[in-house]
Amino acid sequence: MEASKVIHAIYTDDDVLMSAVKKVKAEKHHIEEIYTPFPVHGLDKAMGLAPTRIAITAFMYGLVGLTVAIIMMNFIMIKDWPQNIGGKPSFSYLENMPAFVPIMFELTVFFAAHLMVITFYLRSRMWPFKKAENPDPRTTDDHFLMEIAVHGNESELENLLKETGAVEINLVDKEAH
């Protein structure tokens, strides 16, 4: 993709931003991105973003962890070397299961939590030496920025955004990734 033009509309209030989003959506303009310093409740709904599926992945990771725990302890404690340790019944997995439950539980939580976090990092492209993608440093403090793609309708868009209460409207060339 070649370099394209986008409009950056900057707001100073999350309520104004929310109503602006609704207005821009009603006018059928595509919002590329919104940068906010903190989570704005309901913004994802107003933008029409699809709900996250990360909880579903966490559930599946948890099942993986549970399976790992069961297979691991069944092999070690029952199959490989079934010792008599303090009279605990090591004849079958079920007979000795209560002793394994704390580990089964912890591994389920461990897998679910860590793999979900890693999934989150991968999906949102976050890693230690990543270059920050911040169009305006003020959006990490007290400003809200809405980015809208321009397809030759700059003046119309600018008027619309001014109406919605934007304090600053910039037309910028965006480098294609």
Q: Which residues bind other proteins (CB under 8 A)?
A: 55, 59, 87, 98-99, 101
Q: Please, what is the minimum distance in Å from the beta carbon of residue 59 to other proteins?
A: 7
| Phi (first) and psi of residue 46, to 5 degrees | -60, -35
Report the C-alpha gap between 16 and 164 in whole angstroms: 7
The minimum distance between CB 149 and other proteins, in angstroms, equals 32
What are the backbone dihedrals phi and psi of residue 33, each rounded to the nearest 5 degrees, phi first?
Answer: -165, 155
> Which C-beta is closer to other proteins: that of 10 or that of 62?
62
Buried b (16+ CB within 10 A) or exposed e, 146-161: bbbbbeeeeeebbebb
Q: Least separation, in Å, of the C-beta of 98 and other proteins?
A: 5
